[in-house]
Amino acid sequence: MTIQFNDETFRDDYTFRNSDWAVKRFPFPFHEDSYMYSVNMEQHRGGPEGSVYEKRFDVDEHYVSEMKDRAIVLADDPLRCQSLPHMTLAGWDLLELIMVSKSEDYPDLFELHRDGNTWRWINKPLGIDDTFTFLDETTLPFGPMEYITRQSQGDFAVLDQRDDMLWMDAGMVTTQADWSLDFDIGMNFFEWHAPVPKAHEMGIFKRALKFLLNIQQGAPARRLNWTMTVNPLLDTSPENYHKWGIQKTGLTAENIGQKQFLRVELQTFYRLPRSNALAFPIRCYLIAFEDIVSVPKWGRRLHRVIRDLPEELATYKGFIDNRPKMLDYLSQYDDGLPTSPGVWPDLDTEPALSK
Amino acid sequence: MSASPTKAKAGAEKISVVVSAKVPVNDLVTRFEFKRQDGGPFPTFSGGAHTVVEMNDAGRTRLNPYSLMSDPEDTETYAISVRRDDEGRGGSLFMHNFVNVGDQMNITYPVNLFNLDLRARKHLFLAGGIGITPFVAMSKQLDRIGGNWELHYGVRSAALGSYAEELSTKNPNKVHVYEDDKGEAIALEALLNGQPLGTHVYVCGPKGMIDWVRQTAKQAGWPDDNVHFEEFAAPQPGEPFEVRLCKSDRTITVGEHESLLEALEREGVDAPYLCRGGACGQCETDVIRHDGAFVHRDHWLEDEVKASGKKIMPCVSRFVGASLEIDR
Ligand code: HEM
Ligand code: FES
């Protein structure tokens, strides 16, 4: 299908909207009525047609506007994109992975023509047609990682693998859930995860690291993570907390359906060929509460998950103060009926709200 | 989330290949070259990566890891070199005696447990015998990206020095060959002391050589993180032993010439693995109960864990005793 790209904003007047198509394919993250951290990893080998899991790098109606928002953030703060000197090769690996995947998965939107090391890249939605020499930085307007991630939705961390450890040595981070690349650059897997509650004691990070170190070429993996954001803001960074933190106090019973967003990250993991580094794309999807509750199963379930979430997690995710308001709103969409297992909307089989 | 509940299979992804060349390198070593059956390009890889070659030896499946020694940017051909081991379990003999040009085989995607540290100012390679193979690929990769490397290569004799001549001719200032039968040896202490700050040393060869390099480097004050080694332990034959598999609820016997991992696979038990050489940690298995002694041959478990008897690496380690129960 051809995608109609929205013209929308993620700041100031917040014109971001999800179409019906985007709502139905939203990566709802809860497969049951409760949530706790786990090593929730699975293979990233496609998924149901039209779902966000189908393609290696999902492109949707928000693509063009998200890339404009990234350019604004970078103009303001160039340190959102950093790559230590030894990571340039990994940047080329990432550029190749994304160009090959997108041109194969979306041939009507992206084209890659390779003649030896002379590559021509055509990105139709963004109006780009560049010819460059692969592995020669001087032939691109930016370093390879920055060049390609200015054209790819989601954040990217590129991890060097050394001494049985992963190191955050490069990244493009402008759509993050309150963490900072500039702060984390050069840290290892345990160091940058230090602020997360409970998961360390549960042994989750030890097992997750072991899994990641063994991710192999040709066998990518994925997992979901989630949090809450008031207003459809992509850039919820510590650097800009003074701008967005106060917006959390503006929720009312009247506006919560439109202003409160569930924020879901589809995280994927790829072993890169030449550098043996690990690419970690973190794709952010936003959905307003009023759109979630339009799917009866999701409305019921979200209420139960938020109600029963341990306090440490609600605090860490930054919505402990707003939880009562969320529950007032969501409880209207929970009639106590059981929900079907799994994440899918099941619109044809799940009963309508009986309240 | 389970968007698609596909369960991970053991081992890396496989590629179907055809043997495109079989080249005798010397009396002991033969090079095998592969092309893809589907005619498509191979994935590029990083120097130091290996592939696991699947051999169908009269109905019995053998899976042996070999370092890739072709140019990592060459997506048409993969190459490995196999040293004939007349005393070993037969994988290398099978390759030498029964694998020929035109044969179809499966190999895995590249897996790298011996990668370059790209922060290094200089890469110092120390090879012994067939341990030369990963360095062939690494040096080609570094030449492309402008990396600084130097190779010191110990061989039994000029005649048995695989690729020694080729490498020296191409890189006269970087390659130093030491012939055992002429009494030549790497002057390791002096070599290590003379390295510029930021050098990383990589060693691949027989176990004795690896231990020697690690010890000498340690004594000379080198940080562990700057010393890299890859040691593939081949599984060794041993007395047959019985194992009770708790999850699968049955008891199997591991034969004299197979590993515990191979016995699990023969019985259709899906057991994880990657390197099959005791190095990657993927096959780590919990021991539920045992009465006897382990023969730990891996480089993965810490010594205390080995001593505790709570874990075993089925790809290379064995057991001698009255009974063993594992969590598979
Ligand atoms: C190499 C890949 C990964 C990177 C770069 C990464 C990075 C991060 C970062 C930067 C944070 C925010 C920490 C903060 O508060 O400052 C985070 C949170 C977290 N990470 Fe990771 N992570 C990775 C892989 C994983 C994996 C495989 C797991 C599997 C369990 C995991 C579990 C978590 C959890 C549970 C949180 C807390 C999230 C929340 O509650 O919102 N991470 N990660
Ligand atoms: S398979 Fe790698 S340690 Fe056993």
Nearest residue, CB atoms, A217 vs list B1, B110, B145 = B110
| Structural domain of B320 | 241-326
Are B1 and A29 inside 8 Å of each other by CB?
yes
- Specify whether B278 is located in the same domain as B302: yes
- Specify whether B10 is located in the same domain as B73: yes
| Residue B1 covered by a domain | no
The pLDDT value recorded for residue A242 is 92
Report chain A's C-alpha Rg in angstroms: 20
In terms of CA atoms, which chain A residue is nearest residue B12? A216
Return the ligand 1 atom nearest residue A313 CA.
40
Q: pLDDT tens digits, chain B, 328 residues: what are they?
A: 444 434 456 777 899 999 999 999 999 999 999 999 999 999 999 999 999 999 988 877 888 899 999 999 999 999 999 999 887 767 899 999 999 999 999 999 999 999 999 999 999 999 999 999 999 999 999 999 999 999 999 999 999 999 999 999 999 999 999 999 999 999 999 999 999 999 999 999 998 999 999 999 999 999 999 999 987 667 788 899 999 999 999 999 999 888 999 999 989 898 988 778 887 788 999 999 999 999 999 888 888 999 999 999 999 999 999 999 999 9
Is some CB atom of chain A closer than 8 A to the CB atom of B75? no
Using CA atoms, how far residue B137 sits from A187, B56, B106, B114, B167, in Å, is 30, 27, 21, 12, 12
CA–CA gap between residue A25 and residue B213 (Å, rounded): 56
ipTM, two decimals, is 0.89
- Specify whether B107 is located in the same domain as B176: no
The percent helix, strand, coil of chain B (3-state, each to 5) is: 20, 35, 45
A16 neighbors A286 (Cβ within 8 angstroms): yes
B298 or A99, higher pLDDT: A99
How do residues B140-172 score in pLDDT, each as one tens digit?
999 999 999 999 999 999 999 999 999 999 999
| Structural domain of A275 | 20-333
Are B46 and A216 inside 8 Å of each other by CB?
no
The pLDDT value recorded for residue B9 is 61
Number of domains within chain A: 1
**Residue A253 dihedral angles phi and psi, to the nearest 5°:** -60, -30
Residues of B in contact with A214 (CB under 8 A): 274, 280-282
| Residue B308 covered by a domain | yes
Are B45 and A217 inside 8 Å of each other by CB?
yes
Burial (CB count <10 Å: 0-12, 13-18, 19+), residue B269: middle
Using CA atoms, how far residue B126 sits from A307, B121, B130, B225, B227, in Å, is 60, 17, 12, 16, 11
Residues of A in contact with B109 (CB under 8 A): 216-219
DSSP helix/strand/coil, B252:
strand
Are A276 and B46 inside 8 Å of each other by CB?
yes
| Residue A340 covered by a domain | no
Residues of A in contact with B45 (CB under 8 A): 217, 273-274
**Residue type at B30?**
T
pTM as predicted: 0.91
Out of B264, B275, B297, mutate this one to test ligand 2's pocket (max ligand atoms within 8 Å of CB): namely B275
Percent of chain A with pLDDT over 90: 90
- Annotate A116-130 with b (16+ C-beta within 10 A) or e (fewer): eeebebbbeebeeee
CA–CA gap between residue A330 and residue A188 (Å, rounded): 39
Nearest residue, CB atoms, A89 vs list B45, B145, B274 = B145
Are B1 and A274 inside 8 Å of each other by CB?
no
The pLDDT value recorded for residue B3 is 46
Query: What are the strands, taking DSSP E only, across chain B?
Result: 14-24, 29-36, 49-57, 60-67, 78-83, 104-108, 111-112, 122-128, 149-155, 175-179, 199-204, 227-229, 241-245, 250-254, 285-295, 311-312, 318-326
- Closest residue by Cα to atom 3, ligand 2, is B278
Which position among A11, A223, A263, A271 bears the catalytic label?
A223
DSSP helix/strand/coil, B167:
helix
Ligand at shortest distance from the CA of A181: 1
Are A219 and B13 inside 8 Å of each other by CB?
yes
Out of B264, B274, B302, mutate this one to test ligand 2's pocket (max ligand atoms within 8 Å of CB): namely B274
How do residues A208-240 score in pLDDT, each as one tens digit?
898 899 898 998 999 999 999 999 999 999 999
The pLDDT value recorded for residue B231 is 73
Of B91, B112, B133, which residue sits at a domain end? B112
| Residue B289 covered by a domain | yes
Percent of chain A with pLDDT over 70: 100
B106: closest CA of chain A, how far (Å): 15
Q: What is the CA(A166)–ligand 1 centre distance, in A?
A: 13
- Specify whether B89 is located in the same domain as B126: no
**Residue A228 dihedral angles phi and psi, to the nearest 5°:** -125, 145
Are A51 and B109 inside 8 Å of each other by CB?
no
| Residue A292 covered by a domain | yes
- Closest residue by Cα to atom 36, ligand 1, is A196
> Taking CB atoms and an 8 Å cut-off, how many pairs form between chains A and B?
91
Pocket of ligand 2 (CB under 6 A): B 273-276, 278-283, 298, 300, 313, 315
Q: What CATH number does residue B254 fall under? A: 3.10.20.30
Quick check: is A223 catalytic? Answer: yes
Is some CB atom of chain A closer than 8 A to the CB atom of B223? no
The pLDDT value recorded for residue B117 is 97
**Mean pLDDT for chain A?**
95
- Closest residue by Cα to atom 24, ligand 1, is A208
Are B118 and A86 inside 8 Å of each other by CB?
yes
Using CA atoms, how far residue B280 sits from B84, B112, B230, B290, in Å, is 24, 10, 10, 24
Is some CB atom of chain A closer than 8 A to the CB atom of B208? no
CA–CA gap between residue A294 and residue A24 (Å, rounded): 10
- Ligand 1 and A206: CB distance under 6 A: no
| Residue A254 covered by a domain | yes
In terms of CA atoms, which chain B residue is nearest residue A275? B46
| Residue A352 covered by a domain | no
- Specify whether B68 is located in the same domain as B150: no
Of B167, B197, B230, which residue sits at a domain end? B230
In terms of CA atoms, which chain A residue is nearest residue B284? A210
Ligand at shortest distance from the CA of A206: 1
The pLDDT value recorded for residue B8 is 53
| Residue B38 covered by a domain | yes
Number of domains within chain B: 3
pLDDT class for A1, splitting at 50, 70, 90? low
Nearest residue, CB atoms, A218 vs list B43, B117, B118 = B43
Could you write out the three-class secondary structure of chain A?
Answer: CCCCCCCCCCCCCCCCCCCHHHHHCCCCCCCCCCCCCCCCCEECCCCCCCCCCCCCCCCCCCHHHHHHHHHHHHHHCHHHEEECHHHHHHHHHHHHHHHHHHHHHCCCCEEEEEECCEEEEEECCCCEEEEEECCCHHHCCCCHHHHHHCCCCCEEEEEEEECCEEEEEEEECCCCECCCHHHHCCCEHHHHCCCCCCCCCCCHHHHHHHHHHCCCCCCCEEEEEEEEEECCCCCECHHHHHHHHHHHHHCCCCCHHHHEEEEEEEEEEEECCCCCCEEEEEEEEEEEHHHHCCCHHHHHHHHHHHHHCCHHHHHHCCCCCCHHHHHHHHHCCCCCCCCCCCCCCCCCCCCCCCC
The pLDDT value recorded for residue B246 is 93
Is some CB atom of chain A closer than 8 A to the CB atom of B145? yes
Q: What CATH number does residue B72 fall under? A: 2.40.30.10
| Residue B117 covered by a domain | no
With 90 as the cut, is the pLDDT of residue A314 above it? yes
Of B112, B135, B160, which residue sits at a domain end? B112
Using CA atoms, how far residue A37 sits from A34, A41, A225, A341, B285, in Å, is 11, 11, 9, 18, 24
Portion 77-96 of A in contact with B at CB < 8 A: 85-87, 89
Token couple for B116: 């370059």
DSSP 8-state class, residue B181: G
The pLDDT value recorded for residue A126 is 98
CA–CA gap between residue A297 and residue A85 (Å, rounded): 48
- Specify whether B144 is located in the same domain as B179: yes
In terms of CA atoms, which chain B residue is nearest residue A26? B3
With 90 as the cut, is the pLDDT of residue A49 above it? yes
Out of A225, A315, A317, mutate this one to test ligand 1's pocket (max ligand atoms within 8 Å of CB): namely A225
Residues of B in contact with A26 (CB under 8 A): none
DSSP 8-state class, residue B114: S
What is the average pLDDT across A105-117?
A: 97
B134 neighbors B161 (Cβ within 8 angstroms): no
Angle B5-B7-B11 (CA atoms, 0-180°, nearest 5)?
Answer: 155
Are A217 and B144 inside 8 Å of each other by CB?
no
How do residues A192-214 score in pLDDT, each as one tens digit?
999 998 888 888 898 889 889 98
| Residue A278 covered by a domain | yes
Ligand at shortest distance from the CA of B283: 2
Nearest residue, CB atoms, A343 vs list B1, B49, B145 = B1
Q: What is the CA(A38)–ligand 1 centre distance, in A?
A: 11
Are A42 and B2 inside 8 Å of each other by CB?
yes
The pLDDT value recorded for residue A198 is 87
Q: What is the CA(A180)–ligand 1 centre distance, in A?
A: 12
A228: closest CA of chain B, how far (Å): 18
User: Out of A18-32, A189-203, A318-332, which region has the weakest mean confidence (pLDDT)?
Assistant: A189-203
